[in-house]
Structure 1
Amino acid sequence: MLVTIAMLMGLSASPIIMAAAGGEVDVELALAVDVSRSMDYEEVQIQRQGYVEALSHPEFITAVKGGMLGRIAISYYEWAGEVDQASVIDWQIIETAEDAKAFAEKLAARPVATQRRTSISAAISYGATSIISNNYRGMRQVIDVSGDGPNNIGVPVLPVRDRAIESGIVINGLAIMLRPSGTAGGLDRYYSDCVAGGPGSFVLPVHKIEDFAIAIRRKMVMEVSNILPSPKLHRIANELKADCLSGERQWQDFLDR
């Protein structure tokens, strides 16, 4: 993971130029899914099923076909304290309902597992490096990060987030708020201020476990269609910013006890 972070921190501002020759797509979408142990096994299962259902939903297929080229490149990986290499589903073109179904079946076949800690910086670093080194040329490049807590291990999230944005990547967030996260102002504020970024970026909160599937489908349709969120999802500009080091401080306080 240190190698991945080092690669990200040295990226140029023109990732599309750096990418090897490959197929052109409307968007390169990396799905970075939190499986930390702060979520129980049932929640992780329901989250996984939400992605499987979203990929197969007619709204998602319609969004893909509605693009200028009518095709996207998509990848999936799970993370907690680090990225789980066994969870990675590498880049695949989705152009038809059959393509989406095949990707969903690969995902559904993977075992469900959880890991310790929460490193959003590792998730962003892996996604950015994967986007820049793949063989596709997307008109847009997006990392979609889901999570239920602040960054609490590894490199601080802000410099990694900012470097990815400087490289032309948009980062969106799904803030899983089923229980208190310990972040002042709420996890959605933390994700808005410390994780998401880039033109048109957004954060969607999930407050109830039964809302997982709808929220996942909604954000994926928005990302593929490049639809901006409704104004109610934007916070007032003069509100206090979140403490982007809150998770690291909490973990250090725990170790110092």
Structure 2
Amino acid sequence: MTSRRLNAPGSKDALSIRIGKVAKAHFQVHIRYLAAALLLAVSAALPGSVRSQTMPERADTALVISIDVSSSVNEERYQLQLEGIAAALEDKEVIKSVLSGPLGNIVVAVVTWADSPRLAIPWTMITKEEEAGQFATRIRALSQEDGKFTCLGGMMRYTADKVLFRLPIPASKIVVDVSGDGPDNCSAEGLLSNARKDLISAGATINGLPILEGPTSEGLEEWYRDNVIGGNAAFLMPADGYADFARAFRQKFIIEMSALTIRQ
């Protein structure tokens, strides 16, 4: 019996082999594109500008800046808050304080809040003056949201459960900045006090910047002292109205970047 050559030119087997090689090559190309797409997706999922940086193993400070956007905050007042925060991040003395820690870095997030909180700027690493300036630009670009109530307890709960949970690296200090022009007027009983306790238990220091302007400002400093601030070396830095916000925020920023005891 004559044996059949499986790889004879023009035979069905040779054609099958060639088709198989072509299919294999297309499969390899497909896998390479799939891997590249997966890498891009993972990169996009990382918080903020952190994805474009070489992340250190630890930060000197993790700072949450919370911004009141309730109904008492009109466009002018909102812009005064944004400009005050951005100007502080562009101030050389402030940056010197920010980067003066043992590791020379800080990781920052911004939460806006009224009826409900929102992570407006995810965790972002700042290791040099240029990066602080870029963060200031992002602050100025934040659009104002609609909100009616001053749900401070909800903001603290969100910060404890969602924002600190997403902290990309451990930090020697955790600071939560709370500013606003009125007391909580919407949270369920116990929500604020329990969220505050949980933040402090997580090692956070909660500092307050009550803005003393408008009908709800009477007694606001004392209310912040009793219900908002807490944790290691917590303090108040009142602003004498929105026009004084930039001064108060800058001064508070310098103090909290340099005065807190390092957590072990």
Query: What is the TM-score with the length of structure 2 in the denominator?
Result: 0.73
For residues 198 and 59 of structure 1, the distance between their equivalents in structure 2, rounded to whole angstroms, comes to 25
1:41 corresponds to 2:75: yes
Alignment of 1:136 onto 2:169: yes
Q: Is the 8 A contact 2:211 2:217 kept in 1?
A: no
Q: Distance in 1 between matches of 2:67 and 2:111?
A: 6
Report % sequence identity.
Answer: 33
- Contact persistence 1:32–1:144 (CA under 8 A): yes
**CA distance in 2 between partners of 1:55 and 1:182 (Å):** 27
Shift of the alpha carbon at 1:172? 0.7
Q: Does 1:167 align with 2:202?
A: yes
Tell me, in whole angstroms, the C-alpha distance in 2 between the residues paired with 1:218 and 1:123. 24
Q: Is the 8 A contact 2:63 2:174 kept in 1?
A: yes
Q: 1-side partners of 2:82 and 2:180: how far apart? A: 13
Q: Is 1:55 the counterpart of 2:89 in the alignment?
A: yes
Contact kept, 8 Å, 2:61 with 2:107, in 1: the verdict is yes
Q: 1:209 to 1:182 in 2, by over 3 A?
A: closer
Pairing 1:94–2:126 present: yes
Q: Give the Cα separation in 2 of the matches to 1:158 and 1:147.
A: 17
Deviation at 1:29, TM superposition (A): 0.3
For 2:114 and 2:57, locate their aligned partners in 1 and report how far apart those are by CA, in whole Å: 31
Give 3-state SS (helix, strand or coil) of 1:143's partner: strand
**Residue type matched to 2:93 in 1?**
E
Computed over aligned residues only, the root mean square deviation of the Cα atoms, in angstroms, reads 1.9
**Counterpart-to-counterpart distance in 2, 1:170 and 1:217:** 17
Stretches of structure 2 that go unaligned for 5 or more consecutive residues are: 1-54
Note if 1:202 corresponds to 2:227. no
Superposed counterparts of 1:107-186, under 5 Å: 107-129=139-161, 130-155=163-188, 156-181=191-216, 186=219
Gaps of at least 5 residues in structure 1 are 1-20, 229-257
SS state at 1:206 partner: coil
Alignment check: 8 A CA contact 2:99 2:106 kept: no
Aligned residue identity for 1:55: L
Aligned length: 204
Structure 2 residue aligned with 1:253 = none
1:128 CA drift (Å): 2.2
2:181/2:217 contact within 8 Å kept: no
Alpha-carbon shift at residue 137 of structure 1 (Å): 0.8
Post-superposition Cα deviations, 1:18-58, rounded to whole Å, max 9, x if no partner, equal xxx97301110000111111122211111111111111111
> In 2, distance between residues paired with 1:30 and 1:37?
22
Say whether the 8 Å CA contact 1:172–1:203 is kept in structure 2.
Answer: yes
- Higher normalized contact order (CA 8 Å, seq sep 6+, divided by chain length): 1
How big is each residue's C-alpha offset from its partner over 1:44-81, in whole Å with a ceiling of 9 and x where there is no partner?
A: 11111111111111121100221111101001121011
Question: Helix, strand or coil: the match of 1:112?
Answer: coil
Whether the 8 Å CA contact 1:27–1:72 is kept in 2: the answer is yes
Mapped partners of 2:260, 2:202: distance in 1: 21
Counterpart-to-counterpart distance in 2, 1:146 and 1:182: 12
Between the aligned partners of 2:199 and 2:85, the Cα distance in structure 1 is: 24
Q: Distance in 2 between matches of 1:187 and 1:24?
A: 36
